[in-house]
Amino acid sequence: MSLTSIHHHSLNDEDFSRNCEVFHWMKNYYIFRIVQPIKKSIELMENKKVQQLREQEKEISVKPTPIDIKMIVMGSGGVGKSALTLRYTYSKFVEKYDPTIEDSYRKYTEFEGDPFVLNILDQAGRDEYSAMRDQYMKQSEAFMICFSITDPSSFQDTLQIHEQLLRSLDCDELPVVLVGTKCDLEDERGVSFDEGKQMALEFGNCSYVETSAKDMINVNEAFEILIREYKNIKNPDNNDEDEYKDDTKKYKNSIYDPRKEKKKKYCEIM
């Protein structure tokens, strides 16, 4: 081997060594300045996701299971049961009267801190379907009896419906609310508020509410009162009269709650 070739070979070794040093420097720079920050960022994101999942699991674990209530809305034909139920469940007002045989609705709601799933049965009001009412009553847990304040005959029918309810369930204490519909038609009123209140007292001191599906008057309140009646009968030990609130202050003489009456808090809705 000539000296020239040896000298050339040693130069290549030096270049190679130098290149290796540069490569290692670049590798370290890449790892410490690029790879590691990215890795830390990914770890932080993963830890954040894990924390979020844990929080979601915690929320799910502490969230109470909704209470199912089977409700039935009853009354003579044409008093506005379907309009009231549709207004509550879908915030929709249907003005055209379409005689109902049987319609059912489902609505999730929260009331006084508790979640509820309401299974609402809109029962036919026509006489030819009255025989089916007994069966529906036995399958239900909370009861809304409706009449139109413009129709005194539908008002008298509520007494018969309530008597049938007591016979069917053979129980004196039931969650019942009496509802006078179409209170926006004040000029056509045929049943006074005091008459409705007196009928509610005859039913066993239940609440009485006047509603208007058209003008959204006391629609939510009617169902909330029925939920409250259900809760109080199911859990009588938790029935605290101080919890009752006059939530509606807009319409005068439209709600009667016997519990408020006892505490001289009759709902004079201003």
> How many Å apart are CA 190 and CA 10, to the nearest integer?
117
The answer to the question of residue 250 being in a domain is yes
The 10s digit of each residue's pLDDT in 49-92 is: 778 777 776 666 567 889 999 999 999 988 999 999 999 999 98
167 and 74, same structural domain?
A: yes
Provide the domain count of the chain: 2
Residue 255 tokens read as 């709600």
- Listed residues 63, 81, 104: the one ending a domain: 63
- The edge-to-edge listing of strands for the beta sheet with 142-148 is 102-111, 114-123, 67-75, 142-148, 176-181, 207-210, 255-256
The answer to the question of residue 267 being in a domain is no
CA 123 to chain centre: 21
59 and 77, same structural domain?
A: no
| 3-state secondary structure (DSSP) of residue 6 | helix
pLDDT band at residue 241 under the 50/70/90 scheme: very low
Global pTM value = 0.69
The 10s digit of each residue's pLDDT in 136-163 is: 898 999 999 999 999 999 999 999 999 9
Range of the structural domain that residue 78 is part of: 67-262
